[in-house]
Homo-oligomer: A and B are copies of this chain.
């Protein structure tokens, strides 16, 4: 009898053989199946929920009883890291894809540009060589492509297949060039698509946008959690991981490369192509993600004076990075601006054409780290601030990411509070846009005062009784029930005094930074033509709420626009257009990065904007 048991992970159908006693999280990793999780398998984060369909596993642990509500347990939900396999099993992994599809870039959010990719496809029929025309195969080919034939080169592998390819179908061939280098030549009948991928490496999620480089069409998106999450939820903890483990950087790098490879594989499979058809990748991400992806020491990003190893655009052959695409394809990493203003911000600026505008504009990317880019009409200023992970649902009592069951809207309905949840599922927590709304609504109701104290419901004379009853607890332990047991999946979802403090810290950091930048260029908020909110949940934020809590400078609500994953859009634009790639380089040359925290003015401003308007 074998000691090995077979586990099948649905819906992927991934099958793996493991030894008895392996936990489901490890088994998932071995099967190449992505299971959420950010605590490293200690049963703390409660994110690695899977559903046991069939099979024998270990008993529920005390951690599971604590973190999973009884309804979930009844449905067969287990925490993968707590569940040991005792026999063959079939397990369903809730799709994180659902989350991503909501966040993912829609084709419309990418402005249209003239197609001018770095990858070119040529369909040619060459003249037969003869004693009158003894030009080499390569020269014959290069001269058919351009009059400036001497500007072209070819990989040795391409040269290696050239003679045979030319003679297979009477000199009819399909040729692919990456930049000025020919990387593929094959008989015409073996022509395949020329694809590219724009890759957005977010701290939490990774998105791969597959693009047809001959048409510029965005074909499909494959995305999911950034599996580096298992090494730490934010960039600082990942840098610490790299610093404190032998080969820590390698482990982080291998993890993200494997994830990107998986998404590339999913995307090309969906369109019936192969990874080798992908000839170029453009990469955006914050400076830490950028450094880890390239294998660059991230340690000094987190130490004063916060210098990156490089901030230049980097072009490197795919095989050098281990990306599973055409090995001679090019990987173009957009440039960064500073240690905490990365290629993602450059992508946002490219996507929004910030510095091509006549009038002042502000772009704010809200995440654990807030990045702010201000265009005065003449100068481009950038700054970063540690907003903390509150807006992404972390460190919030019932915070969660924007997935099914997340409260994403909070509003007054009649004489009571009401909430909307993603996919109309029973409420499981609050995501960023819900936190904004909740704070704004409670401020309007007088349940939160300017200093951020949650008032005693009974002492707020203007409240309905229903509303007042939502306030529970005393003083610093007070909270507001957003969704009672009847609406929630695992007990009431509450918004706590501590949550308000986190919101205050986060919004104040962003607001103080913005105001400082405006002052430096001598502008007032009202001079801003537009305020763009980038980032995954930018599109879902209620501008009125953002203004009400004082996150944004005081502009008319109509000037605020969510622009979604603009960093990803920037990656797509630089994938399909060399001009946009030049623009990205120019943005970085133009940018003046301001280290705000050094200024005592900033500290004063930060304290001031802790208050709600």
Contact (Cβ within 8 A) B129 A307: yes
Given contacts A294-B156, A305-B131, contact A312 B136 (CB under 8 A): yes
| Residue on B nearest A305 in the bound complex, by CB | B131
Determine which of B131, B162, B306 lies in contact with A134 in the assembled complex, contact meaning CB atoms within 8 Å. Answer: B306
A residues 158-198 touching B (CB-CB < 8 Å): 159-160, 162-164, 167
Question: Are A310 and B131 within 8 A (Cβ)?
Answer: no
Interface centre among A312, A315, A321, A593, by most chain B C-beta atoms within 10 angstroms, is A312
A573-605 CB mask vs B (1 if < 8 Å, else 0) is 000000000000000000001010010000000
Cβ–Cβ contact B309 & A138, under 8 A: yes
CA distance in complex: A136, B339 (Å): 9
Instruction: Report the separation of the CA atoms of residues A297 and B156 in the bound assembly, to the nearest whole angstrom.
Output: 11
For window 103-142 of chain A, which residues contact chain B by CB distance below 8 Å? 129-131, 133-140
A284 CB, min distance to chain B CBs, angstroms: 17
Task: Assess whether A218 is interfacial by the CB under 8 Å rule.
Answer: no
- Rounded to whole Å, the gap between the CB of A164 and the closest CB of chain B is 6
Identify which of B130, B163, B312, B598 contacts A305 (C-beta below 8 A): B130
Query: Is A309's CB under 8 angstroms from B137's CB?
Result: yes
Contact B310 A137 (CB under 8 A): yes
The answer, yes or no, to whether A314 is at the interface (CB within 8 Å) is yes
B310–A134 touching, CB < 8 Å: no
Q: Does A202 contact B (CB under 8 A)?
A: no
The reply to whether the CB of A296 lies closer than 8 angstroms to some CB of chain B is: yes
Identify which of B136, B157, B314, B338 contacts A156 (C-beta below 8 A): B314
**Closest residue on chain B to residue A316 by CB atoms:** B156
User: Which of chain B's residues have a CB closer than 8 A to the CB of A315?
Assistant: 153
- Oligomeric state, in copies: 2
CB pair A163 B300 closer than 8 Å: yes
A129 touches B321 (CB 8 A): no
**Known interface pairs A154-B310, A310-B154, A316-B156. Does A297 touch B164 (Cβ–Cβ under 8 Å)?**
yes
Given A130-B305, A131-B595, A305-B129, A312 and B139 contact (CB-CB distance below 8 Å): yes
Known interface pairs A138-B312, A595-B131; A160-B296 also in contact (CB < 8 Å) = yes
Given the contacts A131-B595, A134-B593, A595-B134, A309 and B156 also touching, CB distance less than 8 Å:
no
Q: Contact check, B131 vs A304: say whether CB atoms are below 8 A apart.
A: yes
A248 contacts across to B, CB distance below 8 A = none
Q: B305 touching A136 by the CB < 8 A rule? A: no
- Contact residues in B for A595 (Cβ distance below 8 Å): 131, 134
Is A308 part of the binding interface, using a Cβ–Cβ cutoff of 8 Å?
A: yes
A21 contacts chain B at the CB level, 8 A cutoff: no
Q: How many residues in A have their beta carbons less than 8 Å from beta carbons of B?
A: 48
Judged by a CB distance under 8 angstroms, whether A311 is at the interface is yes
Is A379 engaged at the interface, CB distance under 8 Å to the other chain? no
- Residue among A137, A157, A305, A310 facing the most chain B CB atoms (10 A cut-off): A310
Question: Is A446 in the interface zone, CB < 8 Å from B?
Answer: no
- Evaluate contact between B159 and A296: CB separation under 8 angstroms: yes
Q: Given the complex, which residues of B lie within 8 Å of A157, measured CB to CB?
A: 295
A19 to B90, CA, bound (A): 51
Most chain B CB within a 10 A radius of its CB, from A133, A138, A299, A595: A138
Tell me whether A136 and B294 are in contact in the complex, defined as CB-CB below 8 angstroms, given that A131-B598, A163-B300, A598-B131 are known contacts.
no
Contact among B135, B156, B339 for A307, CB-based, below 8 A: B135
A356 on the B face (CB < 8 A):
no
Known contacts A163-B299, A300-B163, A316-B156, A307 near B598 by CB under 8 Å:
no
Q: How far is the CB of A437 from chain B (nearest CB, A)?
A: 38
Task: Tell me the minimal C-beta distance from A416 to chain B in angstroms.
Answer: 52
Shortest CB-to-CB span from A139 to chain B, Å, is 7
Q: A134-B306, A134-B338, A310-B138 are in contact. Are A156 and B593 (CB under 8 A)?
A: no
Q: Which chain B residue shows the least CB distance to A294? A: B156
**B interface footprint on A247-291 (CB within 8 Å = 1, 0 otherwise):** 000000000000000000000000000000000000000000000
Q: Who on chain B is nearest to A595 by CB?
A: B131
Tell yes or no: A451 within 8 A of B by CB: no
Contact A310 to B139, CB < 8 A, known contacts A294-B156, A295-B160, A296-B163: yes
- Contact (Cβ within 8 A) A136 B310: yes
Contacts of A359 in B (CB 8 A): none
> Residue A320 at the B interface, CB < 8 A?
yes
Cβ-defined contact, B320 with A156, below 8 A: yes
Known A139-B311, A156-B314; contact A134-B297, beta-carbon cutoff 8 A: no
Chain B residues whose CB sits within 8 angstroms of the CB of A134 once the complex forms = 305-307, 338-339, 593, 595
* In the bound complex, CA of A167 to CA of B303 (Å): 13
Q: Does B307 contact A137, Cβ atoms closer than 8 Å?
A: yes
The smallest C-beta distance from A478 to any residue of chain B, in angstroms, reads 41
State the Cβ distance, A166 to closest chain B Cβ, in Å. 9
Closest-CB distance, A180 to chain B (whole angstroms): 13
For A136, list chain B residues within 8 Å (CB).
307-312
Which B residues touch A138, using CB under 8 A? Answer: 309-312
Instruction: Quote the shortest CB–CB distance from A74 to chain B (angstroms).
Output: 50
CB within 8 Å of B: which residues of A? 129-131, 133-140, 150, 153-157, 159-160, 162-164, 167, 294-297, 299-300, 304-312, 314-316, 320-321, 338-339, 593, 595, 598
Instruction: List 17 A–B pairs whose Cβ atoms lie within 8 Å, in order of A's numbering.
Output: A131-B595, A134-B338, A135-B307, A136-B309, A137-B307, A138-B309, A138-B310, A153-B312, A153-B314, A155-B320, A157-B295, A160-B294, A160-B295, A160-B297, A162-B297, A162-B309, A163-B299
- Other than the given A129-B305, A162-B310, 13 more pairs (CB < 8 A) read A137-B307, A137-B308, A137-B310, A138-B311, A138-B312, A139-B311, A150-B312, A153-B312, A159-B294, A159-B296, A160-B294, A160-B309, A163-B300
Sorted nearest first, the 7 A-B pairs with minimum C-beta distance are A138-B310, A163-B297, A136-B311, A129-B307, A136-B308, A131-B305, A160-B295
